[in-house]
Amino acid sequence: MTHSTLPSNELPHWFTQKAEAHLQFLYGESRTPALMERLIDRLQSGISAAKSEQLALWSEQDIILITYGDSVQQPHERPLQTLHEFLTLHLQDSINSVHVLPYFPYSSDDGFAVIDYKTVNPQLGDWADIERLGKQFHLMTDLVINHVSRENLWFIDFLSRQQPGCDYFIEMPPETDVSQVVRPRSTPVLVPAHSHDGIRHVWATFGEDQIDVNFANPDVLFEYIDILLLYIAKGSRFIRLDAIAFLWKKAATRCINLRETHEVVKLLRDIVDVVAPGTVLITETNVPNGENLSYFGNSDEAHMVYQFTLPPLLLHALHHGISTYLTQWAMDTPRPQKHCTYLNFIASHDGIGLRPAEGILPEQEVLSLVDAMHQYGGYVSMRTDAYGKESPYEINIALFDALKGTHRGIDDYQIQRFICAHTIMLALQGIPAFYIHSLIATTNDYQGVEQSGRTRSINRRKWRYDELLERLNNPSSEQASVFHELKRLLKIRRKQAAFHPEARQETIPLGNDLFAFWRINAERQQRILAISNISAEAQTVHLPEHPLTEGSGFWRDLIERTAIAKGTRKLKLYPYQSAWLEALD
């Protein structure tokens, strides 16, 4: 799964012109010539080392699996080798891409406090294991770009005032007013660090073991450009910019989504476009919807942004059996610009973020949802705003348990509701991403929470491979029921031109109990009407007019593999049943 590059090591004029403008904005006119010289030198070597074979950015074939390198384990084998075996034997016909969450040596946060960006965690495997995955699947790698571990050599250099890391971090007096800073946590912004010459206070957006780097120093930028080029050279096709919204710090600002941050993203986009066309840059920005969408820029920043608003809205819709907010959001969501699309997901290694629902779900609806998730065994993490007020930031729960009931309580529709949620996600415009623990219906892992002391561990179970296979081979297990039905849907989805990421989407309101939208690929002449009953009651759907006036008038339900006769205007959907109705000509 390799990608293309320029036929020579000459950088095109468009790139040098744009890169110069980005660097000048970030670091000033006087420093730009020397910085451009460094950049050209870096990229020319990257171009000559890059791989060949042109790839389209994406297609309806693209399905991403999100997993830790050790989510599936067996004794006496490297976890990355076990993962490769599981993917090859059980998912190769269903997915084509895998996001291996940070696979580097780390000190905390299950990989997101990176000690060494350029080596593979030996407890998982080595670069040969990563490259092997990248040859068989499109590989997504995290560029953890906002912060490093306290044990990272850069930070050790900082504490001892040694090069190169002595100027890589942000040190401030502890009494500095940082009240305007937007926080994803309730921990202090400035945390103490013990050094030979006393206690020094450094910026740490996410906690005391994740120390923010200082991109106002261009040397830091070039460190991460080198890391980016390494990941591409090792076979990564998707690059995920972790926590990118918090990248740049500026006095007397909120220190989130700053223009300087967007300029860095634009520069990285230009770099991947020139060094390895076909590489996809993804921004991870767990922020309100409008701020999230801003990372498309003018089709010159991220190729893909996470649909962070989808998980809380879909959970709310299925919990209450009301599609009002979900439908309105879908109607308001803009069609992505050229060469841009969405990454659709409803569960991940993190919890279900609530900030993306701000301004869409009323506060009381959010609090009600949080209370319900507590009843289903989940937790909630809080954040503190500029006024010291705490508010829910993220629900921590396994999605399978989150959907075991509704506002009325636990019922018998857990599996149907869970499949419905994923069927909706699969049909939406963009590329779908499945968390491994959703694909195999993992339940809340309280042992993991107890061992780690972190509520996010509730959704990060590590399966023994033999135990997992036993569950998947047992037709009566919940894991087998979910796994095999989702695989069936994945295979159907990957054959439909209307589900190409760039195919048009048109949301249609069919009532509060239903969520419905068209997917239309005019070029390849396919139209699919995706309809889901999001309630625990059977619903009669009044179908719209058949869109092909010169056609047969027939519909074909791709999920049930049944035809719906010409002139039929009503369709019965059982609780949480979905239909993908292809309009036949």
Residue ranges at the known binding site: 109, 147, 240-242, 349-350, 456
Backbone angles phi, psi at 53, to 5 degrees: 95, 115
CB atoms within 10 A of CB 542: 10
| Chain position carrying tokens 């399905």 | 63
Q: Which of 328, 434, 100 is nearest to 234 (CA)?
A: 100
Backbone angles phi, psi at 448, to 5 degrees: -65, -40
Query: Which of helix, strand or coil describes residue 141?
Result: strand
Rounded Cα distance, 336 and 282, in Å: 14
Q: Cα–Cα distance between 269 and 538 in angstroms, integer?
A: 47
Residue 340: CB partners within 8 Å, gap ≥ 6? Answer: 296, 299, 302, 303, 304, 305
Distance set, CA 516 to CA 316, 425, 498, 510, 568 (Å): 16, 12, 15, 7, 18
Query: Which residues make up each annotated binding site for substrate?
Result: 109, 147, 240-242, 349-350, 456
Q: How far is CA 431 from CA 334, 501, 525, in A?
A: 16, 6, 20
Residue 163: C-alpha distances to residues 159, 321, 564 (Å): 11, 58, 71
Let me know if 300 is a catalytic residue.
Answer: no
Q: Encoding tokens for residue 358?
A: 């701000």
Residue 284, CA atoms < 13 Å, CB-side half-sphere: 19
d(CA 253, CA 474): 56
d(CA 514, CA 508): 10
Tell me if 270 sits within 8 A of 228, measured CB to CB.
no
Q: Which of 390, 368, 366, 394 is nearest to 379 (CA)?
A: 394
Beta strands in 385-511 (DSSP E): 390-396, 405-406, 409-410, 431-435, 463-464, 504-507
Question: Of the listed 242, 273, 401, 445, which one is catalytic?
Answer: 242
What residues contact 282, with CB distance under 8 A and at least 6 apart? 140, 238, 239, 240, 241, 302, 303, 304, 305, 306, 343
Active site residues: 242
